[in-house]
Amino acid sequence: MAINFQYNKTAQQTLEKQLKVRERALPTLKNKESALRMEVKRAKDRSQELDSLMAEKLVQYDDMVQLWGEFDTNLVRVKDVTLSVKKIAGVRTPVLEGIEFDTAPFSLTTSPVWVPAGIAIISELAKTGIEKEVFRQKMMLLDFARKKTTQKVNLYEKVQIPGYQDAILKIKRFLEDEENLSKSAQKIVKNRQQQMEEAS
């Protein structure tokens, strides 16, 4: 990254301030990145656990496939999903607070005896599926923030900080060279004046 600067003390001081800001921010950004990385892993692990749990439950109920054909799908539905927001390392993530199901009335005498159990099974599967989706969304949000933070860490660490250090070094060398040239010029002028005084 090319940093635009002028070869003077004011530019040097401005660059030094910018460098300090980035050097102070870098450890915080690295901590945020590692915290986000851990949270992404947790959310991913939980999402995978829920995936496995869902698969296990579906296998458990495989022997009931024929009964599901008789099940009235209008008996149970998700009425409401309550979510809240929790900030993790500055990132707003969803938290599942609760799921409300709406169960339609049915006759216990005319319906098959397993219908109440079927409603419980459907509710349980829906709850697991919704929870898995919430964790998947959480993982995506955290992973996006982690990638952005990693980009910023890399920008500071590999581009801006070395760029500012290089620019400051160039200004210092330029100012030192200018000072040395000025001193040399003063010596030359002084020596000429002395020679002229001695000659006259």
What value does the mean pLDDT take over residues 52-57?
90
Give the domains, in start order, of the chain with CATH numbers: 9-195 (1.10.287.3240)
Distance, CA of 30 to CA of 132 (rounded, Å): 29
Give residue 59's pLDDT. Answer: 86
- Quote the distance between the C-alpha of residue 188 and its chain's center: 61
For 168, the token pair is: 């400051």
Assign 161 to helix, strand or coil: helix
Q: Whole-number mean pLDDT of the chain? A: 89
> CA 124 → CA 50, 72, 115, 136, 199, distances in Å?
12, 17, 14, 18, 109
Assign 151 to helix, strand or coil: helix
pLDDT band at 1; cut points 50, 70, 90:
low
Tens digit of each residue's pLDDT (9 = 90 or more) over 63-120: 777 776 777 778 889 999 999 999 998 899 999 999 999 988 887 777 777 788 888 8
Query: 74-83: string of b/e by CB count within 10 Å (b at 16+)?
Result: ebbeeeebee
What predicted TM-score, i.e. pTM, was given to this entire model?
0.76
83 contacts: CB under 8 Å, gap ≥ 6: 94, 95, 96, 97, 134
Assign 111 to helix, strand or coil: coil
Q: What percent of the chain has a predicted confidence (pLDDT) above 90?
A: 60
- Quote the distance between the C-alpha of residue 20 and its chain's center: 23
Give residue 35's pLDDT. Answer: 94
Tens digit of each residue's pLDDT (9 = 90 or more) over 170-198: 999 999 988 888 888 888 888 888 888 88
Main-chain phi, psi angles of 73, to 5 degrees: -70, -10
Distance, CA of 104 to CA of 142 (rounded, Å): 38
